[in-house]
């Protein structure tokens, strides 16, 4: 496990506490989507990468590669537009831990793992409607570029698609 600021460590999915992940996830369902124990279990089974800080209580990131049997309009957009990718399905940092660089650390770890596995890009989406300007700014800061937009869920949500080419 990689050390973070000598206080936190990045734990793999076997060490994550599903109850705390569900709690943190569902407190931010507007930005991601709600999960129950079954849907979280299915997501973790498909995951290329599932790691967290403090067993997922402080922050966690779940990502899938292009081979995952995942039905999601954003994932499917990338399947239609990219041959190979690692898709960030969700990242959440607890409000009390924001501003400490934890998302940047998890993204860096994901990019390292993806590159080691032979992937050439990491992709994600960020809400335009409802707006998420903090996430937009973060993704641009860590090297993502916009590659598309879409209205999903019968126009109730609009998203911006981002990708980061790994070198």
Domain chopping of the chain, boundaries: 3-165
Q: What is the pLDDT of residues 69-90, one digit of tens each?
A: 999 999 999 999 999 999 999 9
pLDDT of 11 above 90: no
Is the domain defined by 3-165 classed in CATH 3.40.630.30?
yes
pLDDT of 97 above 50: yes
Q: What is the mean pLDDT of residues 38-52?
A: 95
pLDDT of 18 above 70: yes
Q: What is the pLDDT of residues 48-65, one digit of tens each?
A: 999 999 988 899 999 999
The per-residue pLDDT for 2 is 47
- Helical ranges in the chain per DSSP H: 18-26, 37-46, 73-81, 102-116, 133-141
């Amino acid at each position: 496990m990689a050390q973070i600021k000598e206080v936190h460590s990045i734990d793999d999915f076997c060490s994550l506490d599903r109850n705390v992940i569900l709690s943190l996830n569902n407190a931010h369902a507007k930005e991601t989507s709600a999960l129950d124990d079954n849907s979280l279990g299915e997501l973790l089974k498909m995951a290329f990468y599932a790691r967290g800080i403090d067993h997922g209580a402080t922050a966690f990131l779940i990502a899938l590669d292009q081979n995952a049997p995942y039905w999601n309009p954003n994932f499917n957009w990338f399947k239609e537009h990219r041959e190979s990718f690692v898709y960030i399905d969700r990242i959440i940092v607890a409000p009390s831990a924001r501003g400490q660089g934890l998302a940047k650390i998890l993204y860096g770890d994901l990019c390292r793992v993806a590159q080691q596995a032979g992937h050439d890009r990491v992709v994600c989406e960020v809400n335009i409607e409802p707006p998420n300007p903090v996430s937009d700014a973060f993704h641009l800061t860590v090297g993502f570029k916009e590659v598309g937009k879409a209205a999903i869920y019968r126009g109730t949500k609009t998203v911006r698609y981002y990708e980061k080419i790994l070198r």
